Amino acid sequence: MNNRILGALRSPITFSVLAGVLIGALFLVGTGADPVAAYEAVLTGSLGADGIGSTLTTGTSVLGMALALAIPLRAGLINLGGDGQLVLGGITAAVTGLYSPLPAPLTVVLALLAGMAAGALYAALAALCENHFGVPLLVSSLLLSYPAVSLASYLARYPLKEPGSSLPQTRALPDGVALPAFGDSTVTWGLVLVVLAAAAYWFTDQRTAIGYEIRMTGLNARFSAYAGVERRGLTLKLMSVSGATAGLVGAIGVLSFPYRFVDGSLTAPGYTWTGLTAALLATAAPLGTVIASFFFAVLQVGGLAMERTTEVPRELTQVLQAIVIVFLAARLRFPSRWFNRRKEAV
């Protein structure tokens, strides 16, 4: 067998994904479903003509959040406050969209920037907590997330609530204050923005000095500190960029269908956690993050299709995602002995 194929098969990522799919199949058999039919439903439901638009829409949010988490993760920092930054970005974009006196196209740009700024400032707050008070980033970012989500929920339910509606949502944005969609689909220019962000991340990571510093810090924080990387500054910068990306995702969510801030609609699908899973799976490498995000978007959308056709609960795909990461975290891989023995036999 070709050595490169063998190497890829033995990589922990391949192993983890295969293990996830296999254990998922066991679950399916356990519930009396046909695993082949269920997995087929996942694939056709997410990549078929009916599902691909939905996959790309979900993929926009998943990739955006995956980038938000990958950027600090590359330096070994984990931002667990994605939900708070995402929601603040969304509500800020909604307020900007509703009250901006500018013409519609400029308002869209302003709303995107405002959403990014809100996310960036909030994430920077978590970084300051670590830098100046010694509260670990993991904890400060996560704890800060809850009040942000509560605040946005309060705003959408009381001061900004659409009059006369029974739903916890703001008024719809004025005509034209929306990201242009491709044809009749739900896929908007948000996808382009997120892909551009991914490209910028790839370029920074691979081709610039700061990208190198970030990777070095991730590989060995003490060595890079010795080499002159200023850790506090780096934490603050990375968290700001991370929060801005999460805020962008929130703004995109509001500037796309249903063109308003709906309480829970940004956090309920679990983009933050799916994004974190994707970033972890790819060890925050730019290209890998894109691929992993697409993979998880397929799982998420395909899970709904599977539920419709085979009556297997869609939560199974969430189980699958987590199993992949559990295996990966334990750095399991095909034991090399298996292959060596096989070689000797041949």
Residues near another protein (CB under 8 A)? 27, 31, 78, 80, 129, 133-136, 138-140, 142-144, 146-147, 150-151, 153-154, 157-158, 273, 276-277, 280, 313, 315-316, 318-319, 321-323, 325-326, 328-332
- CA distance to 8, 211, 337, per residue, from 207 (Å): 25, 7, 38
Query: Other C-beta atoms within 10 Å of 272: how many?
Result: 28
Of residues 106 and 332, the one with the C-beta less far from another protein: 332
Closest listed residue to residue 139, CA positions, set 67, 81, 89? 81
**Closest distance to another protein from the beta carbon of 317 (Å):** 8
Of residues 104 and 128, the one with the C-beta less far from another protein: 128
**Closest distance to another protein from the beta carbon of 318 (Å):** 3
C-beta separation of 47 from 298 below 8 A:
yes
Closest listed residue to residue 142, CA positions, set 81, 65, 85? 81
Of residues 41 and 252, the one with the C-beta less far from another protein: 41
Backbone torsions φ then ψ of 188, nearest 5 degrees: -115, -175
142 DSSP 8-state letter:
H
**Closest distance to another protein from the beta carbon of 345 (Å):** 28
Q: Is 286 exposed, middle or buried (0-12, 13-18, 19+ CB in 10 A)?
A: buried
**Closest distance to another protein from the beta carbon of 12 (Å):** 10
Q: What does the block give as tokens for 72?
A: 């600090």
**What is the rounded CA–CA span in Å between residue 249 and residue 61?**
6
**Closest distance to another protein from the beta carbon of 265 (Å):** 16
**Closest distance to another protein from the beta carbon of 8 (Å):** 21
Of residues 5 and 26, the one with the C-beta less far from another protein: 26
Q: CA 305 from chain center: how many Å?
A: 21
Residue with tokens 């850790």: 231
Of residues 99 and 158, the one with the C-beta less far from another protein: 158
Backbone torsions φ then ψ of 161, nearest 5 degrees: -65, 140
**Closest distance to another protein from the beta carbon of 328 (Å):** 8
Query: Other C-beta atoms within 10 Å of 232: how many?
Result: 12
Of residues 276 and 285, the one with the C-beta less far from another protein: 276
Largest Cα span, the chain: 76
Of residues 259 and 273, the one with the C-beta less far from another protein: 273
